[in-house]
Structure 1
Amino acid sequence: MPASSATRSTATDTARQRTSAGVSFAASLAFEHVGHRVGSTEILKDISLSAEPGEVLCLLGPSGSGKTTMLRIAAGIERQTSGRLLLGGREIAGPDTFMPPERRGVGLMFQDFALFPHMTILDNVRFGLTALKSAAAKSEAMAALARVGLEDAASSYPHTLSGGEQQRVALARALTPRPSVLLMDEPFSGLDSRLKDVVRSDTLQILREAHATAIIVTHDAEEAMRLGDRIALIKDGSLVQVGTAAELYSRPADLFAAGFFSELNVLEGEVRGGRVVTALGPVADSPSSDGSRVTVALRLSGLRLAERDAGVSGRIVARRFLGVVDLMTVAIEGLDQPLRSRMRAGVVPENQRDVVVSIDPQDVIVFEKAPADR
């Protein structure tokens, strides 16, 4: 074990050791009608999106949706095929403009941290400070390591550090040149699940202290909700919805957006007398005309099971204990597919099979069907 590991044994120690982060000159970064093609494949489709100065913006979406391509275009590693990019209101990439990566003042933190294995931690952090004299670069790098609680590891090499420590070194290196925008490509994906919460919290605190504008790519909705001031949801190269975590969770633009933030039961419904009626009975009000067909998304936490109550009859056909909650699968007359419910563990006795099923209106989201779907 490295000699410095005792001083870095816990996240609490790290939090105590860290000093305040140096302030960056945060700038806005705007994508204006950005498109990108590779051969006949359209990777990005008319993306218009901006990160404001000092904001943490999360790009969220499944693998292959175009999130990393957006970062590469912002960093200048790739050039978009249409549209333009503005940094602090100044065009840095457009039909007749292309500012090279080294002149943009944009930092990029890779998914695998990209630390140089043959360099010490200090040399890794000061690698990009080529404009400073040696003593000044060392001083800046040591200050950056102090901000992430790793100044005692300055003479160590990357392979001697844990994944969480390597992540903090990569963050220190990215912030040391004081970029106006920091781009982070799934920076926590390689971390042990036990470390993620602590490292994400530390990273967010450092970004806040640095007043840095940050764009973070993730495919994890909970991570985006924890980190982002706003979230941009991307699907197949298109922007689906932008807003705060609360906005996207409570008012998703479509079924895809709803399903990205919650596990769902999906039911067919029909409007009758101003109410949406399903096999579970009326579930929501609707302004649509009678006879309109709708799609009903019901979060698993909104399917309530009880021994006696108002509702419809159901039978538990499977259940799994998940610690805080029981995950139960329930067959309901009139539905071809069973529904799933998450309820606090032990609320429904383990030997109980027959239940009364009701819904919590707060967990119901109704989507109008497109004409082609009706």
Structure 2
Amino acid sequence: MGSDTLNGAVATTRRQGVSFAASLAFENISHRYHSKDTIKNVSLTAEAGEVLCLLGPSGSGKTTLLRIAAGIEMQTGGRLLLNGQEISGPSVFLPPERRGVGLMFQDFALFPHMTIRDNVCFGLNDLPKKEALMQADAALDRVGLFHYADRYPHVLSGGEQQRVALARALAPRPAVLLMDEPFSGLDSRLKDSIRADTLAILRETRATAIVVTHDAEEAMRMADRIALLKDGCLVQVGTADELYRKPCNLFAAGFFSEINVFDARVRGGRVETPLGGVPAGEYKEGQPLSVAVRLSGVQLEPEGGDIPARILSRRFLGVVELLELAVPQSERTVRARIRADLLPQGLRDVTLSVNERDILVFEKDASTS
């Protein structure tokens, strides 16, 4: 019997049940560390069965929120509710092992002296030995690594170790799976495939997942919804489409796309920038505004565009080129990202136009919120 047939036959007797998905709600969560506020009154719910990404730069509080959810960290204010039942707050604090929550660490945290199977069994101490082994084998089978069960972590690649860590986190069938930067240690060439495999496994198990990342594209690839954080505050929550197309402020706009930023005021019902303008809409005459123009929205042609420009530099990045331009009425250079080979090499003087949907206007003080 071939190995593929054998693995398929064994898999039919080793199917792991799906998880019981639960909602996890952060209700007015605050946290202080050495008199510094690290989380500031955050309210957010991961709905049952969804993948929610906590996105933000270093120091935004996303990992602290994850540690609070896991029970490793205690909030200084607010409550944590699992399916509406308080598991951490003024009246109760359930230890990590009683929460039905799985945690997958950034560095995988596999024990080098234990076999792959024993690593996966580590979180199944409450089960009889035989049942724990069956659960571990089912979890390894799910991530495609059952054939490595009796080997040790050092023989595995980084991507395989990541899958073992995922199997260990899934083996107890957690209601909520917490993942802290799960792909940051992987080779960039592996990330896409491992991320896709992980997402497929999460969908199959139907566990609620909260994933921490600092990479906006990764969040957009994985998440049903994204929670964007900055300086311990929740900036915006929504789908990838909502956050990209309708960012609430300049910070959110800049996190999801490269932008040129201009100061502007409403004049005659319009907001004008050196790259073009848009109707002022709800903004009042003379109101100071911040305007973001996406690099990808700047269209360049040898002639025929709306605004003359001079190419100062161009950098080939494979599929695209990154250009720096000088334009009238702007003291600063303007950047554009265009398809590679769209313009002839050696060309210096061009014209540009901007798609109005790539011009985003915000109140001046909203950019710092």
Q: How does 1:1-374 map to 2 (within 5 A)?
A: 22-370=17-365
- Quote the Cα distance in structure 2 between the aligned partners of 1:363 and 1:152: 50
Question: Whole-Å Cα distance in 2 between the matches of residues 271 and 217 of structure 1?
Answer: 39
Query: 1:18 touches 1:148 (CA, 8 Å); kept in 2?
Result: no
Any unmatched runs of 5+ in structure 2?
none
- Taking the aligned partners of 1:251 and 1:96, their CA distance within structure 2 comes to 39
**Alpha-carbon distance in structure 1 between the residues aligned to 2:79 and 2:132:** 34
**2:352 partner amino acid:** V
Normalized against structure 2, the TM-score is what? 0.94
Instruction: Provide the C-alpha distance between the structure 1 equivalents of 2:20 and 2:344, rounded to a whole number of angstroms.
Output: 58
* Secondary structure of the structure 2 residue equivalent to 1:305: strand
Give the superposition deviation at 1:273. 2.5
CA RMSD of aligned residues (A): 2.0
Structure 1 residues 371 and 364: CA distance shift in structure 2, 3 A: closer
Deviations 1:290-329, CA, capped at 9 Å, x for gaps = 3222211011011111111141211000000111111110
Q: 5+ unaligned residues in a row in structure 1: which ranges?
A: 1-6, 9-13
Counterpart amino acid of residue 167 in structure 1: Q
Deviation at 1:214, TM superposition (A): 0.5
Q: Segments of 4+ in structure 1 off by > 4 A?
A: 17-21
Q: Mark the CA change 1:372 to 1:101 in structure 2 (over 3 Å): closer, same or farther.
A: closer
1:22-79 CA-partner distances (Å, limit 9, x unpaired): 3001111001001001121111000100101101000000011111111111111111
How many Å apart are 1:371 and its aligned residue? Answer: 9.6
Q: CA deviation at 1:217?
A: 0.3
Q: Which amino acid in structure 1 is aligned with residue 316 of structure 2?
A: F
The letter for the 2-side match of 1:182 is L
Count of equivalent residues: 361
Structure 1 residues 371 and 157, CA gap change in structure 2 (3 angstroms): closer
Q: Which string of whole-angstrom CA distances, capped at 9 and with x for unpartnered residues, describes residues 143-169 of structure 1?
A: 111100001100110011000000000
1:269 Cα deviation from its structure 2 partner: 2.2
Q: 1:59 to 1:18 in 2, by over 3 A?
A: farther
Counterpart contact for 1:51–1:215, Cα < 8 Å: yes
Q: Does the 8 Å contact 2:16/2:135 carry over to 1? A: no
Cα distance, 1:282 vs structure 2? 2.7
Percent of residue pairs bearing the same amino acid type: 63
Distance in 1 (CA, whole Å) between partners of 2:295 and 2:84 is 44
Q: The residue matched to 1:97 in structure 2 has which SS?
A: coil
Q: TM-score, normalised by structure 1?
A: 0.93
2:64 and 2:282 mapped to 1: Cα distance? 41
C-alpha distance after superposition, 1:197-238 (max 9, x if no partner): 001001001011101000000000000001110000010000
Q: Give the conservation status (yes or no) of the 8 Å contact 2:108–2:162.
A: yes
Residue range with higher mean Cα deviation, 160-169 or 287-296: 287-296
Change (3 A) 1:133 1:225: same
Q: CA deviation at 1:372?
A: 11
